[in-house]
Chain A
Amino acid sequence: MTKSELIERIATMCSISKTRAELVVNEVFDAMTQSLAEGDHIEIRGFGSFTVREYKPYTGVNPRTHRPVDVGAKKLPFFKVGKELRESVNARAGTPLPSDSDD
């Protein structure tokens, strides 16, 4: 599912226009982005939580040239799947994954 498919499904499911649905979906992800950018964490019960992890600067190696590269300090978002979703996703382990049609 892509964001535009999500928007279409919201429009149908909630009987609103696609334009309004797009605004809603963007607002949801903008709110989450802003929250993480402010260093806050997000907790959506049943779905999962997002936290920001801080990484110290380090010297890495360019795998192609084997030359050292300095990687500066950075922050990365980290998603931890919630118990409910983890269990419902895992319930289908062992069955084939659907082929990706949206790639």
Chain B
Amino acid sequence: MTKADIVERVYSRMGGFTRRQAQELVESVFDLLKQSLEEGEKVKVSGFGNFVVRDKSERPGLNPRTKVKITLPPRRVVRFKPSPVLKKQLNPT
């Protein structure tokens, strides 16, 4: 599934929007998710999951080719924690 498939679904299921509007709406959803995470703010989507921003401290690393020891700088990463509802959807009993 790609963004185009999501646009098509919003367009066909909702009614009252042109394809172009559906496209803009879906783009806006992902743009807002991105903006929030870029600012370091977590996103909580009940029923789907939470996207959290975490800071990783610097750590020692190794250049695998030259075997030279280096210090890897601190990083900021995005983690996704699926909601129990989503997990259940993937594991029907």
Where the two chains meet, the residues of A that have a C-beta atom closer than 8 Å to any C-beta of B are 1-3, 6, 9-10, 13-14, 16, 20, 23-25, 27-29, 31-37, 40-48, 50, 52, 74-79, 81, 85-86, 88-95, 97-98, 100, 102
Contact = CB atoms under 8 A, between A and B. Distances in A.
Interface string B23-43: 011101110111011111111
Contacts of A25: 29
B81 to A, nearest CB: 9
B16 to A, nearest CB: 8
Nearest to A80: B80
Contacts of B33: 1, 6, 47
Given A77-B49, A98-B41, A27 B9 contact: yes
B6 to A, nearest CB: 5
A43 B49 contact: no
Nearest to B26: A28
Contacts of A32: 1, 6, 48
Contact of A1 (B1, B6, B24, B36): B36
Contacts of A48: 78
Contact of B32 (A6, A76, A92, A98): A6
B37 A93 contact: no
